[in-house]
Amino acid sequence: MCARQALGFRNRVPHLPPSALASPATRPKPGRVKANALSLTLVLSLAACGDLPQPFLDNPGANAVRLSVPPPARLVVAPPTAALLDDRDAAAWAHAVASALVGEELPALVEPPRQGDWRLALSAEMQGATVTPRYTYLDPRGKPHGDVATTPVPASAWASGDPAIFTRAAAEAAPQVLGLVRAVEAQVKQSDPNSLYNRPARIFFSGVTGAPGDGNGSLARDMRARLPDTGDILVNKPAAADFLLAGTVAVTDVAGGQQQVEIHWVVRDPQGRIAGDVAQGKDLPRGMLDHLWGDIAAVITDQAAGGVHDVITNYSGRRRPAPAS
């Protein structure tokens, strides 16, 4: 007689930079990884007696679930006019700051601000024989929301226009500016009752493509069943959604009679920008998924639904619930 079987495991889910969206063959190794754990308990209803193949349930190795978390919105850095520098050196400092912020995964540009842009205003103050660089975070109306001051620089070195001086100052400021940007964004979201910080997200799920056998339908059906369990809401029209979700499957023959199965659940905002990519991968015996996916689809979507919710949580700046003690 067949029975119900409960299987539990823990996966480490690293938060990778945008380069993690590259294919596994070309994806560079991340420099910094922030990890949190998803603890998933998967209950499978066995369709027949005997051993059910359970790929994605053992140690998944290098191709386990991965989350790619996007950086915050772009930030405009304008060359300063009150920094004790000429125009050329002011522009060099602005470019050094923008480059350092990009290194912190905060898209920053040196260009005239557009309507709706937040800005980082650069300035420098003379204090005795030293100059203190300062970075002020401004909203689109020009209202300051905090500033960062970095280590004073000898006035003669600052006036020399040495690019290395600007690079060092920018490198010191960049992580502090990123922290300021995140703190302000969280404060703004918390104060808006209609923001995603304070309500469930509305998701339009367009389905799954590329799977062999009945995978497209099985994965789509099971994902639609599991997404509401995360607290988010499925909607029927893209225009009503906060996020757009699509699944893709790629199957590639590899050595040893195996196939590499890679599944991506890509989350986009309404403008089409990628909010995150939950990727799952596994090597399986060739042809194993050519017909019915069954409970394998249930395992995959159990994993992925939680990952999609994590992407939305991160993108929305919500607080994560404290782990149970």
Tens digit of each residue's pLDDT (9 = 90 or more) over 42-58: 222 222 233 334 455 54
Looking at residue 281, what DSSP letter applies? E
Rounded to 5°, the CA angle 100-104-106 comes to 95
pTM: 0.51
Of residues 191, 189, 172, 170, the one with CA closest to residue 181: 189
Which domains can be identified in the chain, with CATH numbers? Answer: 4-17+24-52+200-316 (3.40.50), 75-191 (3.40.50.10610)
Give residue-wise pLDDT tens across range 127-179. 999 999 999 999 888 999 999 999 999 999 999 999 999 999 999 999 999 99
CA atoms 282, 285, 286, 291: torsion sign: negative
Q: How confident is the model at residue 73 (pLDDT cuts 50, 70, 90)?
A: low
Tokens representing residue 218 in the block: 């099985």
Cα distances (angstroms) measured from residue 174 to each of 62, 73, 178, 224: 31, 15, 6, 41
Q: Name the E strands within 258-322.
A: 258-268, 274-285
In the block, residue with structure tokens 């772009």: 74
Q: C-alpha distances in angstroms, 28 versus 16, 19, 25?
A: 10, 7, 9
* 95-99, 107-111, 198-202: least confidently modelled range: 198-202
Quickly state the pLDDT bin for 316 (edges 50, 70, 90).
confident
